[in-house]
Amino acid sequence: MICKDSVVSPECIMLMGELVHSLLERSKKRGVAKLLRIQSDRICIHTGKYANARTRSQCTRSLRALEKGLIAGLELDLDVHAGHGITYRNVGPLASMPGFSEFNIGHSIISRAVFVGLRQAVREMKELLDKFCLG
């Protein structure tokens, strides 16, 4: 993903929230704003670690890391997306974080649609997002 000249070029970069935060913090601390030049107007933070958390403490740590990545992306005026493993059961805490512009939840919706139909599956997810989204 990161080229020889430190340019990140894919339209939507899939990075763990911790990595995004770490890279951006390192560049700020060194005072080198051009250390990481992102040629995209958005990033997508991988939520798999959160989705696969087995304990409350793992979940809490993962959510903190995702929030740090979200904040770091927003500080660079990027649209921040989140995805991978987001379901009807775990979307709430993510949707409660102000700043995400998109959630990649298609797999969950289509899986649910097998049982209730696509219209109902979309309606249910939209209701959850409306319930939890802060703004």
Residue 89 lies in a domain: yes
Using alpha carbons, select from 118, 48, 121, 61 the residue that is nearest to residue 90.
48
Helix residue ranges per DSSP H, 3-117: 17-29, 48-51, 56-75, 91-95, 106-116
Decide which of 76 and 25 is more confident.
76
| pLDDT tens per residue across span 95-124 | 999 999 999 998 999 999 999 999 999 999
Residue 124 lies in a domain: no
Task: Give the structural domain span for 82.
Answer: 7-104
The CATH number given to whatever domain includes residue 49 is: 3.20.20.70
Task: Provide CB contacts within 8 A for 121, sequence distance 6+.
Answer: 109, 110, 112, 113
Residue 122 lies in a domain: no
Residue 94 lies in a domain: yes
| pLDDT tens per residue across span 10-26 | 433 445 455 565 555 55
Domain count, the chain: 1
Beta strands 13-16; 79-83: pairing state = unpaired
Residue 130 lies in a domain: no
Nearest 5°: CA angle at 40, between 35 and 42? 110
